[in-house]
Amino acid sequence: MFSAFSYTCRSRKLFITEKGHVGLGPRGLQVGDLAVVCLGGKLPYILREQVEKGKCYLIGEPYVHGMIKGEALDMIELRDFTLI
């Protein structure tokens, strides 16, 4: 069992979000990266914003406890995203 855990975590990095969610993400994570769930999606992604270029780069897919089965959608109020 330990070898499976070791293999899974070899290229991963433990992190905590500002809201207190604990996750395991790509080794290249940096402070300030964003853990996001796209509207309509169920899985989180890690993005890195490059403000001076006006772009975001996909860093990878993390495991974030409490956000892996679409729970993130329960945390928002969809009325805030109504199109007009």
Q: Could you report the average pLDDT of every consecutive run of 10 residues in the chain (84 residues)? A: 67 84 88 82 84 88 74 51 36
Predicted pLDDT of residue 65: 75
- Looking at the structure of the chain, the number of domains it has is 1
Domain range enclosing 17: 2-75
Angle at 68 between CA 63 and CA 69, to 5 degrees: 165
Does the residue 82 lie in any domain? Answer: no
Calpha distance 58→60 (Å, rounded):
6
Predicted pLDDT of residue 5: 64
Q: Residue 42 gets which letter from DSSP?
A: -
Name residues whose C-beta falls within 8 Å of residue 36's C-beta, 6 or more positions apart in sequence. 44, 45, 46, 47
Does the residue 81 lie in any domain? Answer: no
Handedness of CA 70, 77, 36, 18 (dihedral sign): negative
Calpha distance 11→8 (Å, rounded):
7
Predicted pLDDT of residue 82: 35
